[in-house]
Amino acid sequence: MVNDGSTDETPAILDELARSNPRVRAIHHEQNRGYGGALRTGFESAAKELVFYTDGDGQYDVRELTRLHPLLGDGVDIVNGYKIKRADTRHRQVMGAIYNQLARFLFRLPVRDVDCDFRLMRRRAVRRVELVSSSGVICVELVRKLHAAGCVFAEAPVQHYPRLHGRSQFFTLGRVARTTADFFALWLKLVVLRTSVRGGRLVV
């Protein structure tokens, strides 16, 4: 469990969980590193053969991992969930659909729902790529780089539920502006520049 610079009682709660349950490890960031930063720490700290992650806001049911695991057969490196129906407000559904279609088109992604954070991956596949994003665009970066590294994807439908507690911190002017800037900077780096120097040497 990665504590991404929480200033409430989260650090103490996680440390107590780790003391009482040997299967729990608590990793603390002194300062908030963003969604992508927390994921990168989690991936780097993973010690088992398989890596699974999803959001912790209750909009996905982790028990549906049983839909993904059977598809992780020989030759498959990542099983990506896709939302059967997005249970969000209308404006979030529209923005999510635009973001997803734009990401698929610009980055030539092999999955139908890059915005579905319900993924099961082989650790050896994750270790093949170097991730640098700190914002939510890390999901696009992850799928794009895994695909470019030759990893094989499978997909499984999962339910998406209404948010029962808290509220999203993403849909603020500052967060949307930063994610938009990060998105197009990533596209420039991974697609435009790589294409323009094809045949040369460009490490991204």
Note whether residue 204 is domain-resident: no
C-alpha 71/C-alpha 121 separation (Å) is 11
Q: List CB contacts of 120: < 8 A, sequence separation 6 or more.
A: 50, 51, 52, 65, 68, 69, 72, 78, 79
C-alpha 33/C-alpha 40 separation (Å) is 10
pLDDT digits (tens, 9 = 90+) for 96-130: 899 999 999 999 999 999 999 999 999 999 999 99
Better-scored residue on pLDDT, 38 or 163? 38
Q: Would you state the pLDDT for residue 168?
A: 64
Note whether residue 39 is domain-resident: no
Q: Would you state the pLDDT for residue 82?
A: 97
Shared domain check, 109 and 166: yes
Q: Would you state the pLDDT for residue 200?
A: 41
Shared domain check, 53 and 9: no
Q: Give the helix, strand, coil percentages of the chain, each rounded to 5.
A: 45, 15, 40
We report the CATH number of the domain holding residue 152 as 3.90.550.10
Q: Would you state the pLDDT for residue 175?
A: 74
Shared domain check, 186 and 150: yes
Q: Would you state the pLDDT for residue 70?
A: 97
Shared domain check, 122 and 91: yes
Shared domain check, 147 and 125: yes
Long-range contacts of 105-108 (CB under 8 A, 24+ apart): 106/187, 106/191, 107/140, 107/143, 107/144, 107/187, 107/190, 107/191, 108/144, 108/147, 108/191
Q: At what angle do helices 138-148 and 90-107 cross, to 10 degrees?
A: 30
Give whole-number Cα distances, 43 to 122, 138, 139, 204, in Å: 11, 12, 13, 19
Choice among 3-7, 47-51, 56-60 with the minimum mean pLDDT: 56-60
- Residues 186 and 110: beta-carbon distance below 8 Å: no
Shared domain check, 94 and 22: no
Shared domain check, 101 and 6: no
Shared domain check, 141 and 167: yes
Shared domain check, 27 and 91: no
- Residues 106 and 139: beta-carbon distance below 8 Å: no
Note whether residue 162 is domain-resident: yes
Shared domain check, 25 and 84: no
- Mean local confidence (pLDDT), 12-40: 95
Note whether residue 37 is domain-resident: no
Shared domain check, 95 and 21: no
In the chain the beta strands, taken as DSSP E runs, fall at 2-4, 27-29, 50-54, 78-83, 118-122, 153-158
Q: Which domain holds residue 177?
A: 45-196
Residue with tokens 């009482």: 20
Note whether residue 81 is domain-resident: yes
Reduced to 3 states (helix: H, G, I; strand: E, B; else coil), residue 78 is: strand
Note whether residue 201 is domain-resident: no
Note whether residue 203 is domain-resident: no
Tell me the pTM.
0.88
Shared domain check, 83 and 1: no
Inform me whether the pLDDT recorded for 173 exceeds 90.
no
Number of structural domains in the chain: 2
Inform me whether the pLDDT recorded for 201 exceeds 80.
no
